[in-house]
Chains A and B, each alone.
Chain A
Amino acid sequence: MLELNSVNAGYGKARILNQLSLTVERGKVVALLGRNGAGKSTTMKTVIGLLPVTSGQVTFQGEDITRYPCHRTAQLGMGYVPEDRRVFPDLTVDENLEVGRQPPRDARPPWTPAQLFELFPNLLERRHNQGKQLSGGEQQMLTIARTLMGNPQLILLDEPSEGLAPRIVEQMADTIIKLKESGMTILLSEQNLHFARLVADQAYVIEKGSVRFSGSITELDSKPEVLATYLAV
């Protein structure tokens, strides 16, 4: 579904991604692991098109999206949930969802606010509240719901568990598992191994912008040297 081929990218002259290659298969949840600064968020931003690719190739559903601007990639069916819960603070929950609305891209019925409120019951009672009035957990739910309104086929989730209470992180894990069961493909970046183990099928460990390990989560757990070197566990 998504393929990165020897991608170099970064901010200005600073190169963060270094010949990064990875593949995300349809229907899988893939975790991107690594220290802070390893290039996880940069990977996400580069794929969605918020950062330019200096060399290499990004393909999404067979289409070369390397040079696409952000909105075009999104319109192709890629959703992006940024790491710092960027809800629109002055817009209500309903309006936040409206901004995310895009026409469906395949035969499946499009997401409606009603369905999303079923998936995230906390949001229903707050639908007329402004984004800034929500708690951290609710904001994280809203950014995911808002992305779903675009009927994506792949979602990029940047550190979904960061800064959330353990109980909320568990809810988040449940939601991701439900989405996976509905056929969604997800690429997520994580620092929280407990969380990654719960939801991910596959893992890439990256360091200094390159892949150092790839395989299933169980394979990763059987390699203490990888965990120790790149995740300092």
Chain B
Amino acid sequence: MTAGFIFAQFLTGLSSASSLFLVASGLSLIFGVTRIVNFAHGSFYMLGAYLAYHLIEWLPTGILPFWGSVICAALIVGVVGVIVEVVILRRIYHAPELFQLVATFGIVLVMQDAIFALFGGEDKFGSRAPGLNGVVRIFDEPIPQYDLALIALGPVVLISVWLLLNKTRWGTLVRAATQDRDMVAALGVNQAWLFTSVFFLGSALAGLGGAVQVPRESINLLMDLSIIAEAFVVVVIGGMGSIVGAFLAAVLIGELNAFGILIMPQITIVLAFLVMAVVLIVRPWGLLGKPDAIQHAGDQIDMPLREASLPGKLVGLLVIAALVAVPYVLDDFGIVLATDIIIFALFAASLHFLMGNSGMVSFGHAAYFALGAYASALVFRHLGGSMELALLIGPIAAVVGALVFGWFCVRLSGVYLAMLTLAAAQIIWSITYSWGDVTGGDDGMLGIWPSEWARSKPVFYYLTLVLCGGGVLILRKITHAPFGYVLRGGRDSSVRTESIGIHLLRHRHFGFAVAGLFAGIAGSIYVFSKGSIFPDEAAIPRSIDGLVMVLLGGVHTLAGPLVGAGVFRLLEDWISRLDFWRAILGTIIIVLVVVAPQGIAGFFHTLAIRFGLAKGRESL
């Protein structure tokens, strides 16, 4: 490795940092003001790339048309961002974080199908930028001129945005709104338009980030989720809402990728995670971030837990009886679907335990599901095909994973915690995806079948019912136990919990492991129910599935995850046969968040209160 090569690699890192910075700064800006973690930001980036590609192809070749296309693409994306803000997000600014996140993921799904419908599914390769298609020799290494232009673009945008924020009245208002938006409104500023303008700028920056990538990267439908994970890492390292921090972090991650690829190709995200973990432990709010001044008032006050009433217990018994009767009533197809639902009920219940009861919102709960599944599959493959042993080791692996990642995660709170969990899941995903020799990579692992005695559909169903249904009951028991109450208390007031002598961090860490354990059990059973396992089980959409299930059921109801898992699987089973099922699912999710934020179970619970079947909140 010569010095020239290292320098060239360094410049490559800087140039990819520029695009990353554009995306991350937009994300950070939007989060700072609206407090929304916008998953759809990656979709804006992807849209920017597609629009620029087609504009460039359509217009005659030339310097002006090229840069004109790039800028037009950014502006169009900005307008799309405004539409999304005005039509959807404006209605959910006061909803809890989880709802906002899930809604923006609904937007991701809709945008994926929209872009597919407009531009087609095949990968696209942009031509080089006119006027910048040569190379410059630096230390004898060829450096593309376009890369040098990108290296310059980053600081130019940084300075422009910084000036805009610090030297204009608009910027002062935006920074004020970041700290206290109601107060800004009380001082006579129309915050709706302030938010919309921020959304325009943020989305346009994402679009610009995508547009400038056209000459460098292939354009495809996977760009959205791959950039969003990186952008999250950058924003968290830099500090939420800090533009300068985002720049520093983008450079850091850009360089890490440039050099990491030489040492550990494919799994540079692991390096990024390690850096992020180290940064967050030294500076819990990122390099230039500040402690969150605003308490999250979005979450409404929860009711105290009550022991189930007599009608409640009867309903519970009826549900159990119905579950036991499933193999006698349904055909094989129905039994398989029911098995699926019970597995996901446990997955959702474990996420609910973490999120609803303990206030630790996880964007990456699929990590522990996948850890359980892959560990089971590997044990089965390499240790003589024993399902029993696999079902034992799988959950243990998930707990170990949860203990390791949890150690970092529980030290943080709110959005930071959520993003760290997402990064953890991305690591598991990239390991399963890249470590082909062991995990089979993209091809997954096949032929993981249950032991002889459990191979019939009804028997396997009962096995699932005992392990997963039992898991749900145990989780419920823990929720009502002192340990569950400590976590609940920690969610309500960490100050109070610490001041009555409870080591909250330790309890949260253990709680994280408990949630990981039950997700792992669900994953272990899942792999045998399907006979195979693929990296998709660790990917972002799987984590979001869990969130949607919890949301469908209602965050504040213990029965919620079960109802949610059932409804979600049936729904998925039905619409996945349709064209544009992503867009349909995405639309359903968005409508649900906007219209029925208390979820299905919560909705029925409210009904039950109204008819006197359940105890409600006292009035004041």
Contacts of A225 in B (CB 8 A): none
Task: Determine if A71 is an interface residue (Cβ-Cβ < 8 Å).
Answer: yes
B175 at interface by CB-CB < 8 Å: yes
Could you tell me the distance between the alpha carbons of A102 and B184 in the complex, rounded to whole angstroms?
12
Q: Is B620 at the interface (CB under 8 A from chain A)?
A: yes
A100 within 8 A of B: yes
Segment of A83-91, A179-187, A213-221 engaged in the interface with chain B:
A83-91
Whether A91 contacts B172 by the Cβ 8 Å rule is yes
Partner of A86, one of B169, B175, B183: B183
Check B172–A75 contact: CB distance below 8 A. Answer: no
User: Which residues of A have CB within 8 Å of B190?
Assistant: 69, 71-72
| Interface members, chain A 1-60 (any B CB < 8 Å) | 12-16, 48, 50
Contact indicator A90/B290 (Cβ below 8 Å): yes
Residues of A within 8 A of B183 (CB): 82, 86, 88
Q: Is B173's CB under 8 angstroms from A99's CB?
A: yes
Q: Which residues of B contact A98 (CB under 8 A)?
A: 169, 172
Main secondary structure of the interface of A (DSSP, over half): mixed
C-alpha gap A91/B175 in the complex (Å): 8
CB-CB under 8 A from B473, the residues of chain A are none
Q: Is the CB of B186 within 8 A of A91?
A: no
- Establish whether residues B175 and A88, one from each chain, have CB atoms under 8 Å apart when the complex forms: yes
Q: How far is the CB of B242 from chain A (nearest CB, A)?
A: 11
Residues of B within 8 A of A72 (CB): 190
Contact B188 A74 (CB under 8 A): yes
Q: Given known contacts A98-B169, A98-B172, is B187 in contact with A146 (CB within 8 Å)?
A: yes
Chain A positions within 8 Å of B290 at CB level: 90
Docked complex: B403-430 residues within 8 A CB-CB of A:
none
A150 within 8 A of B: yes
Instruction: Indicate whether A99 sits within 8 Å of B189 (C-beta atoms), given known contacts A86-B180, A90-B290.
Output: yes
Residue pair B293, A89 in contact (C-beta under 8 Å): yes
What is the CA–CA distance of A99 and B300 in the complex, to the nearest angstrom?
30
Give the CA-CA distance A55 to B252 in the complex, in Å.
56
Q: Measured between alpha carbons, how far is A70 from B182 in the docked complex, in Å?
A: 8
- Please tell me if B191 contacts chain A, counting CB pairs below 8 Å: yes
Considering only residues 125-182 of chain B, those with a C-beta below 8 Å from chain A are: 169, 172-173, 175-176, 179-180, 182
Q: How far is the CB of A98 from chain B (nearest CB, A)?
A: 5
Interface string of A59-77 (1 = CB under 8 A from B): 0000000000111101100
Complex-state Cα separation, A89 to B290, whole angstroms: 11
Interface on B for A, CB 8 Å cutoff?
A: 169, 172-173, 175-176, 179-180, 182-191, 290, 293, 300, 619-620
A contact set with B: CB distance below 8 Å: 12-16, 48, 50, 69-72, 74-75, 80, 82, 86, 88-91, 95-96, 98-100, 102, 146-147, 150
In the A-B complex, the 4 residue pairs with the smallest Cβ-Cβ separation, listed nearest first, are A74-B188, A70-B185, A99-B176, A80-B186
Apart from the given pairs A71-B189, A95-B172, A95-B175, 20 other A-B contacts in the complex at a CB distance below 8 Å: A14-B619, A16-B620, A50-B182, A50-B185, A50-B186, A71-B191, A74-B186, A86-B180, A86-B183, A88-B176, A88-B180, A89-B293, A90-B175, A90-B179, A90-B293, A91-B176, A99-B173, A99-B184, A99-B189, A146-B187
